[in-house]
Amino acid sequence: MSPRQIEVSEPREIGITELVLRDGHQSLLATRMAMEDMVDACADIDAAGYWSVECWGGATYDSCIRFLNEDPWERLRTFRKLLPNSRLQMLLRGQNLLGYRHYNDEVVDRFVEKSAENGMDVFRVFDAMNDPRNLEHAMAAVKKAGKHAQGTICYTVSPVHTTEGYVKLAGQLLDMGADSIAFKDMAALLKPQPAYDIVKGIKDAYGQDVQINVHCHSTTGVTQVSLMKAIEAGADVVDTSVSSMSLGPGHNPTESVIEMLEGTGYTTNIDMERVYKVRDHFKKIRPKYAEFESKTLVDTKIFDSQIPGGMLSNMESQLRAQGAGDRTDEVMAEVPVCRKDAGYPPLVTPSSQIVGTQAVFNVLMGEYKVMTGEFADMMLGYYGASPAERNPEVIKKAEEQAKKEPITVRPADLLEPEWDKLVDEASKLKGYDGTDEDVLTYALFPGVAPTFFENRSEGPKSVARTEAQMKAAAEGQANALSGPISYNVTVNGISNTVSVEPA
Amino acid sequence: MSPRQIEVSEPREIGITELVLRDGHQSLLATRMAMEDMVDACADIDAAGYWSVECWGGATYDSCIRFLNEDPWERLRTFRKLLPNSRLQMLLRGQNLLGYRHYNDEVVDRFVEKSAENGMDVFRVFDAMNDPRNLEHAMAAVKKAGKHAQGTICYTVSPVHTTEGYVKLAGQLLDMGADSIAFKDMAALLKPQPAYDIVKGIKDAYGQDVQINVHCHSTTGVTQVSLMKAIEAGADVVDTSVSSMSLGPGHNPTESVIEMLEGTGYTTNIDMERVYKVRDHFKKIRPKYAEFESKTLVDTKIFDSQIPGGMLSNMESQLRAQGAGDRTDEVMAEVPVCRKDAGYPPLVTPSSQIVGTQAVFNVLMGEYKVMTGEFADMMLGYYGASPAERNPEVIKKAEEQAKKEPITVRPADLLEPEWDKLVDEASKLKGYDGTDEDVLTYALFPGVAPTFFENRSEGPKSVARTEAQMKAAAEGQANALSGPISYNVTVNGISNTVSVEPA
């Protein structure tokens, strides 16, 4: 920052939520980063002066037990120890918690209670349908635990989504006791003008004291401007990821957002030297996960398709598995159709997967000839109310195929108590340690938890490249050096098997 | 763009200069792109509705004859044919033309005349010292040729650079007949607030009708916001490069800049379908030049060092050549010292190379123990006036080492007529075709022109990877297939040297 001798007036301080420990690597490296690769950055992150540090939730829990043999609760406790001065923040899918179905309220209570107990401070609670009833119980649980309940609005664009609608939704979240409002733009659809209008709308309607956090991905290349406009409209905190773990399907770079405010009426008071150390740390780490890395840098076609990067690669692999890798364009055109039929839900976990998979089915087998159980549930209200009316003809097909009635109540109201049953089932698993945390792991991922419990004692298993593999890759010989390779070599008609491996 | 039924008022149209054919590949791929890889994009570029298409000048002329065996004039004529509906734009280094020294006014006249004759429309004329006297003759020549003379200000940050100073400089360029003002931010130093202040300052001082073009690189990750602020302040045209050839040391993505304006009081009226075709074209081309590609994506440290990416890699290779590859940090710290001693010139070709090389010399041999001829010239005024006073002690050392007097006149005023001599020398070269264009090639690059003339008839030689190399690289075997490789292979205790090369 250049020196200033005269400050006309005190600039307004903008908070930063650093995302690198959760959404940064989730978006760029398929959530594969091992805890060991984050530990050394924590002291600098803790001292930099962020408003909060997002480090848990989202897909990290799943990834920990599925790919990394890490106990997610242990990860949370480690972050708590390593970041003693920071607000720890998590992303929580409302009544879905971190799983893919609705849970009974008691399970939600237990999860939030245990998360708070293990060190979580700020709970960013959202619902893929933007149905406030799906947030209500989780928000109340956070309040009960004495923690920060951040009511979250997922941003999407459709004929039924308006500035007024978002402002109204913010009011509903404030009514249920939200300590702040997060505006979540998971697909980088938020353009500067709506960013300004919506933030200003919320502030105008509910007062300047309402804290607004803005979360944007950077895939479309427009959202750093949107953050600027949101700040001008009154946003209090914006989300960024350190530059060495930024851009593409990730987020705007922390340093750039800090620097862009110089000379404006806003400042962050972040310690840049600390940020540079964090940057340098992850600059070294990132190449270790190159095989998981997204290749997209900028893609404005998302404005038409609304298909986020992660969803696209999922659909492409589904298509390839069916020998239909050349039909991506048809599926991209079908997604908006399915989304309209479903009443224009935002596309975010799990709605993005549900809509995307149905679009694949429609292209491969004919429109709604075969409906997935999840899409039928969405059509019938089992994921909550949709932003607009759903297509009655498709609802009828869903009823027929799923043999279920449509509902209008809060989906979790139909769920029986399940905690005792979960405890009972978990306690039969080899390696179960008797804690509520383990019951929750089983509750969230019943298919993966058994294997994880059984192998947990073997400790974390990183999927990062080793030093030797990194070196080989740098020399452009990744394939040749990744292990012993046997060749049949024929010279002058005489054949021999020759084995080659790194010396 | 979403449909709008009611337009409250007509949005203001913002022009776009598409950079992909010149600065895009110059910044991202070391100016190595062959004409054959641009031809197929031209029809879509021509029809998209850009304000102008930058396609010539800068380092392309040098690269054409040095690396690609392409006649730069033939390239210009080809663009003229392929882009019949577009304003062709070039970057011209004032009295340096496209070379690295000052030329006599007659050479400047001839160069501009020939460029206009071969199809150039918009001449963006700049000087590395921001000395208006170095632009004056080239600007007059452009006006005389009936073409668009764009007076250019190089943006830099220093204790002596102020908004008022830039506004004053713009006035001087307008006084010499500039048809528009370009604000050139080659190092991505322009933050949103100064972007707003300077553009507004120029408009307020000289009228809203003064056309302002803003050119930013994206290296620091802040400049797309600066473009937005410049537009809000009244900028008329902004520079972008299509997304598949954007970001890093390059520019902000064309599609993102277009999209960010939706719903604001501004619009571009660009045909996005055409832009997507251009994007898809270069998405296929870019990997062919992967070996030339810059690895930097975001770097805000440039705000401190002011060292642009290209300059840094130059200095690093100079240091490595001297076995001092570990002294980059010292050089990075020395650059601002040399720049201050030289009176805070902007760092851009050729001042960036001159200051950077002197910084390397200072670190390796002691401060100003050995001065390069070019740095001594800069200290003595032979590149023009500097923005601030130069260090008198260093001027004295420059006088001693270069055995020259300091000057204060326009450098080119000291040059003898040289055209006839250049014709005479060029005409002795094998392969010289007798045209003024060839004389100019010789004038600009006397060291390279002889070889180029001699080999010209062999036709363009692309340095891009071939299809086979691309395929090999995709399979991670780039090295194994790039040429003959010898292995020692031992079978049953008998060792043989085996040479392998692509069949």
> Are B220 and B299 in contact, with CB atoms under 8 Å apart?
yes
Hey, of B198, B222, B271, which one would you mutate to test binding to chain A, going by the most A CBs within 10 A of its CB? Answer: B222
Q: Which long-range contacts (CB under 8 A, 24 or more apart) does A411-416 make?
A: A411/A95, A411/A102, A411/A134, A411/A381, A411/A382, A411/A383, A411/A384, A412/A95, A412/A102, A412/A103, A412/A104, A412/A105, A412/A108, A412/A134, A412/A137, A415/A102, A415/A103, A415/A104, A415/A105, A416/A104
pLDDT band at A95 (very low <50, low <70, confident <90, very high): very high
Residue A492 scores a pLDDT above 60: no
Mean pLDDT taken over chain A: 92
Residue B494 scores a pLDDT above 70: no
Amino acid A304: pLDDT:
85
Contact B247 A297 (CB under 8 A): yes
Residue A50 scores a pLDDT above 70: yes
* Residue B454: C-alpha distances to residues A368, A484, B83, B448 (Å): 68, 50, 30, 10
Residues A115-158: tens digit of each pLDDT: 999 999 999 999 999 999 999 999 999 999 999 999 999 999 99
> Are B376 and B402 in contact, with CB atoms under 8 Å apart?
yes
Residues B4-41: tens digit of each pLDDT: 445 457 899 999 999 999 999 999 999 999 999 999 99
Among A97-106, A300-309, A415-424, B368-377, the range scoring the smallest mean pLDDT is A300-309
Amino acid A480: pLDDT:
41
State how far the Cα of B268 lies from the Cα of B260, in Å rounded to an integer: 10
Residue A501 scores a pLDDT above 70: no
Residues B35-78: tens digit of each pLDDT: 999 999 999 999 999 999 999 999 999 999 999 999 999 999 99
Grouping H, G, I as helix, E, B as strand and the rest as coil, residue B486 is strand
Please give the residue of chain B at the shortest CA–CA distance from A480: B477
Grouping H, G, I as helix, E, B as strand and the rest as coil, residue B469 is helix
Region B261-289: what's the mean pLDDT?
97
State how far the Cα of A464 lies from the Cα of A286, in Å rounded to an integer: 9
Residues A271-282: tens digit of each pLDDT: 999 999 999 999
Amino acid A8: pLDDT:
56
**Contact partners, residue B63, CB within 8 Å, separation at least 6:** B26, B30, B31, B32
Amino acid A471: pLDDT:
81
Region B333-338: what's the mean pLDDT?
94
Contact A191 B262 (CB under 8 A): yes
pLDDT band at B496 (very low <50, low <70, confident <90, very high): low
Specify which residues B237 forms β-bridges with.
B15, B213
Torsion of CA B165, B166, B170, B172, to 10 degrees: 30
The DSSP code for A9 is S
- Backbone phi, psi, residue A90, to 5°: -130, 160
Q: Which residues of B touch A306 (CB under 8 A)?
A: none
Contact B191 A259 (CB under 8 A): yes
Amino acid B492: pLDDT:
60
Nearest-CA distance B187 → chain A (Å): 14
Amino acid A294: pLDDT:
80
Query: Higher model confidence: residue B3 or residue A232?
Result: A232
Amino acid A10: pLDDT:
84
Amino acid A496: pLDDT:
65
Nearest-CA distance A201 → chain B (Å): 16
Residues B158-211: tens digit of each pLDDT: 999 999 999 999 999 999 999 999 999 999 999 999 999 999 999 999 999 999
Region A409-433: what's the mean pLDDT?
97
**Contact partners, residue A323, CB within 8 Å, separation at least 6:** none
**Contact partners, residue B467, CB within 8 Å, separation at least 6:** none
Question: Residue A208 has which token pair?
Answer: 């300047």
Give the 3-state secondary structure of A42-96: HHHHHHHCCCEEEEEECCHHHHHHHCCCCCHHHHHHHHHHHCCCCCEEEEECHHH
Residue B482 scores a pLDDT above 50: no
Residue B259 scores a pLDDT above 50: yes
Amino acid B407: pLDDT:
97
Is residue B41 within a helix (H) or strand (E), and if so which, with residue range? Answer: none
Give the 3-state secondary structure of A336-382: HHHHHHCCCCCCCCCHHHHHHHHHHHHHHHCCCCCCCHHHHHHHCCC
Q: Which of B192, B253, B300 sits opposite A264 (nearest CB)?
A: B192
Question: Residue B323 has which token pair?
Answer: 């076995």
* Residue B361: C-alpha distances to residues B316, B319, B357, B358, B402 (Å): 12, 9, 6, 5, 16
Amino acid B478: pLDDT:
42
Amino acid B1: pLDDT:
36
Contact A303 B259 (CB under 8 A): yes
Amino acid A248: pLDDT:
92
Other residues' Cβ atoms within 10 Å of the Cβ of residue A330: 15
Q: Which of B222, B258, B475 sits opposite A259 (nearest CB)?
A: B222
pLDDT band at B417 (very low <50, low <70, confident <90, very high): very high
DSSP string, B111-178: HHHHHHHTT--EEEE--TT--THHHHHHHHHHHHTT-EEEEEEE----TT--HHHHHHHHHHHHHTT-
Contact A300 B243 (CB under 8 A): yes
Q: Which of B220, B246, B478 sits opposite A256 (nearest CB)?
A: B220
Other residues' Cβ atoms within 10 Å of the Cβ of residue A376: 23
Hey, of A295, A300, A481, which one would you mutate to test binding to chain B, going by the most B CBs within 10 A of its CB? Answer: A300
Amino acid A281: pLDDT:
98
Among A475-479, B223-227, B284-288, the range scoring the smallest mean pLDDT is A475-479
Amino acid B427: pLDDT:
98
Residue B484 scores a pLDDT above 70: no
Q: Which residues of B touch A477 (CB under 8 A)?
A: 476, 479-480
- Any idea how long chain B is? 503
Amino acid B298: pLDDT:
93
State how far the Cα of A17 lies from the Cα of A215, in Å rounded to an integer: 9
Grouping H, G, I as helix, E, B as strand and the rest as coil, residue A178 is coil
Q: Which residues of B touch A297 (CB under 8 A)?
A: 243, 246-247
Q: Which of A247, A259, A498 sits opposite B220 (nearest CB)?
A: A259
Residue B133 scores a pLDDT above 50: yes
**Contact partners, residue A473, CB within 8 Å, separation at least 6:** A287, A290, A465
Contact A220 B476 (CB under 8 A): no
